[in-house]
Every structure is written in structure tokens, then in C-alpha cells.
Amino acid sequence: MPITLNGSGTVSGISAGGLPDGIIQSADLASGVGGKLLAYQNAIKTDTSTTSSTSFVDISGLSVTMTPASAASRFKIDYYVNFAVPGAVYSGSIKLVKVVGGTTTDNIYIGDAAGNRTRCSNWTWSSQASYGAYPVDAFSGSLIHHPNTTSAVTFKLQFKSHYSGGFIVYVNRNQPDSDSVNHGRGASSIIVTELGT
């Protein structure tokens, strides 16, 4: 069917998929049409990590860097982390942070300040009275954040132990990590989606 420009200002004869790829850009859509998916990236961590630090340190492999299309862009961040603490009465936590221009901001997804309590995105506490149990927690989170910048933005996950003296916390494994079908090795991930306004 030929393409026809009608006198009424309409076009007929264009079938679905009839326009070349890339001919319509996000800027061509009507203003006020929100929720356009502009870009996405993800990072999947399949190896293991540990720390005995009582200050937050990066979880290797769980970091995504993106440059916003405009300062109005929003980012949807979803993460999932297999996290474990020792089998006695110990605790640990993770935190989502943002880095722009070398400056780290850690208040985009943490609880309110309350005394000496650790401000974090997720935390766990093993209440076992002995080393007879080795719990693994599935930490997850989802949020939409507006960094209000056109500079590159990094979203990453950090973890820490709440106890000094060398008590270790674990990602993608448990404490004994025995070579047995009764113990597992998990995967963790972070997904970042840029949304236009």
C-alpha cells in the first residue's frame, strides 16, 4: 500500500514497524510524557566477598556507573544481595551509596538516625547461641532516585561487620562454606534503569 498524505493532516499506508530504527527519538515525544526508559545497566556478582571491617567498604562487583541524559532523569535502582554473618550472636549490614564527581552520598536509602544504631539499607542479626547454624539472608531493595546532574553517577553497595575483633561477614556464601551439597554459593546483582521525565 502506498503512503498517502491526506488533506486532513493525517498519513495512511504506514504499517506497524514501517519506520526505520532510530527515526523517532525520545525528544520527539510530546512533552509531559513521563516514564520513558532511556537506558539501563546491571552488574551480577557470582564470586564471594568477605570483610571484617566495622566501617562500610565496597562489595566488589556490585557497582553500576551511568551518565544521565539530562539533569531531569530519574534512576530506578534494584538490588539483591546474598549476605551472611557468623553463626553466633553477631550482626552486619549493607548500604547503597551514590558517587558523583568523587563525592560519596550515603543517605539515598538508609534508615533514620537513632542513637548509636547503624544507619543502613539492610541488616541482619544472628541470634544463634552457638556456631551450630549459619544463616544466609536475601537482602533486597528498590527505589527511584533523582541525582539532578548530568555528570556520571555510580551506584554501588557496601557492607560491614558490626563487631570488632575480626568477626567476618560474607557475600554469596556462608561462614563455613563447606564443600557439601548442604552449602551453597549464591549470586547477587544491582540493576539501574534511567527514566526520562
Digit-coded pLDDT (tens) for 144-191: 999 999 999 999 999 999 998 888 999 999 988 889 998 899 999 999
**Three-state secondary-structure class, residue 136:** strand
Q: Strands of 1-128 (E only): list them.
A: 4-5, 11-12, 36-45, 49-51, 57-66, 74-84, 91-100, 103-105, 122-125
56-72, pLDDT tens digit by residue?
999 999 999 999 999 99
5-31, pLDDT tens digit by residue?
776 767 777 776 666 666 666 566 666
Report yes or no: 158 and 97 within 8 Å, Cβ to Cβ. Answer: yes
Report yes or no: 122 and 80 within 8 Å, Cβ to Cβ. Answer: no
Cβ neighbours of residue 34 under 8 Å, at least 6 residues apart?
Answer: 195, 196, 197
Q: What is the dihedral of CA 46, 48, 53, 55, to 10 degrees?
A: 10
Which domains, from first to last, does the chain contain?
34-176+185-196 (2.60.120.760)
76-131, pLDDT tens digit by residue?
999 999 999 987 768 999 999 999 999 999 999 999 999 999 999 999 987 665 55
